[in-house]
Amino acid sequence: MPDLLTIAQLKQVANSTPQPYAIQAQVDGAQEKQTQQGKPYFELRLTDGSEAILWRVFDSNPAFEAVRQLPRGAVWIELSGLWEAGKYGLEPKNAELRRLTPDEVSALLHGTEEQRIAQAADYGEIVSRIATVHDPRLKLLGELFLEKFGERFRRTAAAREYHHARRGGLVEHVAQMMRAAAAICSVYPKLNQDLLIVGVLFHDCGKLWENAYAENSFTMPYHLHGEMLGHIPLGLELVNKLWRDAMEKPEAAAWLHLEPTSDHVRLHLLHLIAAHHGEYQFGSPVLPKTPEAIALHHIDNIDAKLEMFRRGYSTSAELAPGIFERVRPLPQNLIEPLRHFPLSMSEETMEPEASDE
């Protein structure tokens, strides 16, 4: 039996070592097309939540008839063969496919064991950090969001293509940004950590209607609200709605005389959402005008870019030793990072302490 890999793992190993491997994936899209000579072929987009791959099946392929007979709509398959780089990218020679069982589909939707553990830990950390917010208004706002939209949050991607573009990717992105925000606040203690942490939670909350996966699918449908408004206006609208809900809670009566005032806190949070893209050309309706807004913009940008590097090292072709093909939207090829200096070697080279004798 061939080894079962994720698509991300397949992209990493198959380019260099053609071997028989199997993948389990959802057929996210299947189109019947024609070659320039008028011969039919199918183009299938396969995704397993880690990555996606296009498989072109021509009429000369022994698997052509099996693909033709696949039903339209949500189809889950196991595809095995001798994977190698062909004219159209990675493709399986002597391909065999079968439909997955319901239990196999359920397991695939929940990701690998490593993914399940990591995303559960990230979500738990988000909940814990919101619980430690001192400002009662911001704390309640975060708790309301997690209570009402936590399930949808956990199946939303941070983007369609460029970074954390996978089921649960937004949770990973937000948790890492919260860790970075807390670290930056320890260096710059004048930053309002409550505002920054809650700003991280809400900065991409509009993507729940722009990049959410269907409940039982790796398909990310398009939503009319996301297309017509975009995630920044949607995020502003959601925060205002949740703020009104928070102000109707019994505990809100005690907030009338808090300083800064509740409306001032709300305005600063809305500014973080509006300004987090940093520049007009990148879709920000306003530029960052507070220390927390500029910090959030750069934390967001750093985490997105480092995720692009991570993905590039794991999936891009190696053009030469230590040089990897660029990943969009980065404009440059990637260079393998410098490895950490071994601590054990550092200890070995330390001068022995002088003896008192």
Q: 25, 166, 5, 13: which is closest to 90 by C-alpha?
A: 13
* Contact present, 56 and 45 (Cβ < 8 Å): no
Here the contacts of 286-291 (C-beta below 8 Å, separation 24 or greater) are 291/188, 291/190, 291/191
Return the minimum-mean-pLDDT range out of 32-41, 172-181, 281-290. Answer: 32-41
Q: pLDDT value at position 357?
A: 47
CA–CA dist 207, 233 (Å, integer): 10
Return the minimum-mean-pLDDT range out of 9-18, 33-42, 93-102. Answer: 9-18
* Contact present, 162 and 312 (Cβ < 8 Å): no
More confidently predicted of 167 and 154: 154
Torsion-angle region of 22 (φ positive above 0: left; ψ -120 to 50: alpha; else: beta)? beta
What's the whole-number mean pLDDT along residues 230-259?
A: 95
Is residue 95 helix, strand or coil?
strand
Torsion of CA 113, 114, 119, 121, to 10 degrees: 100
Instruction: Label residue 342 exposed, middle or buried (CB < 10 Å: 0-12, 13-18, 19+).
Output: exposed
What's the whole-number mean pLDDT along residues 52-81?
A: 88
Grade residue 70 by pLDDT with cuts at 50, 70 and 90: confident
Residue 111 has pLDDT above 90, yes or no: no
Instruction: Tell me the two tokens of residue 253.
Output: 């009566």
Return the minimum-mean-pLDDT range out of 87-96, 118-127, 193-202, 263-272. Answer: 87-96
Kindly state the helix (H) or strand (E) to which residue 319 belongs, with its residue range: strand 318-320
pLDDT tens for 7-17 read 888 887 776 66
Residue 71 has pLDDT above 50, yes or no: yes
pLDDT tens for 317-354 read 788 999 998 888 889 999 999 998 887 765 555 555 55
Share of the chain above pLDDT 70, in %: 95
What's the whole-number mean pLDDT along residues 253-274?
A: 96
What's the whole-number mean pLDDT along residues 196-201?
A: 98
Instruction: Tell me the two tokens of residue 136.
Output: 């009662």
pTM, two decimals, is: 0.83
Grade residue 356 by pLDDT with cuts at 50, 70 and 90: low
* Contact present, 192 and 307 (Cβ < 8 Å): no
Kindly state the helix (H) or strand (E) to which residue 312 belongs, with its residue range: helix 291-315
What's the whole-number mean pLDDT along residues 198-206?
A: 97
**CA 54, 59, 65, 68 torsion: positive or negative?**
positive
Residue 258 has pLDDT above 50, yes or no: yes
Q: 357, 316, 356: which is closest to 336 by C-alpha?
A: 316
What's the whole-number mean pLDDT along residues 215-229?
A: 87
Residue 355 has pLDDT above 70, yes or no: no
CA–CA dist 187, 97 (Å, integer): 54
The whole-chain average pLDDT of the chain stands at 90
What's the whole-number mean pLDDT along residues 245-271?
A: 95
What's the whole-number mean pLDDT along residues 268-293?
A: 96
CA–CA dist 262, 234 (Å, integer): 21
Kindly state the helix (H) or strand (E) to which residue 323 belongs, with its residue range: strand 323-324
How are beta strands 19-34 and 3-5 bridged, if at all? Answer: parallel
* Contact present, 292 and 272 (Cβ < 8 Å): yes
DSSP E strands, 61-212? 75-86, 89-99
pLDDT tens for 114-127 read 888 999 999 999 99
Amino acid at 31: Q
Rounded to the nearest angstrom, the gap between the alpha carbon of residue 284 and the centroid of all alpha carbons in its chain is: 21
More confidently predicted of 83 and 191: 191
What's the whole-number mean pLDDT along residues 272-287?
A: 95
